[in-house]
Amino acid sequence: MNGFVIAAIAMLAAIIPCGIAVVRGKVMDALVAYEAISAIVVMVLILLAEGFKRSGEFELGVLLAVLLFGSGLVFARFLERWL
């Protein structure tokens, strides 16, 4: 286990407070916590790919970054008016 994997585990632990905010907060609080979680998860995937020396798995981070950006915008737009 190297420093990259340890940093990834620490960042995964940081998802727990955000998860509590998602579950217990109001809708907009949950959206804010979701955006933080999405940024954390992208970093975790990159750290794990580097930590385990798997070049192919860097693509997961790239894809997730693009998809989570779009999904965050969709959530914000729908929560603005329709939900």
Partner 1 sequence: MSPREIIVYLLLGLAALIVLASSAGILVMRDPYQKLHYVSPVAVVAPVVVGLAVLIQSGFTEDSAQTWLALVFVLAGGPVLTHATIRAARIRAEGDWRARRR
Give me the residues that bind partner 1 (CB under 8 A), please.
3-4, 6-7, 10-11, 13-18, 20-21, 26-29, 31-33, 35-36, 39-40, 42-43, 45-47, 49-50, 55, 58-59, 61-62, 64-66, 68-69, 72-73, 76-77, 79-81
Q: How far is the CB of 63 from partner 1 (least distance, A)?
A: 8
In angstroms, the CA 48 to CA 43 distance is: 9
The token pair at 19 is 């998860």
Angle (CA) 79-41-3 rounded to 5° is 160
Q: How far is the CB of 7 from partner 1 (least distance, A)?
A: 4
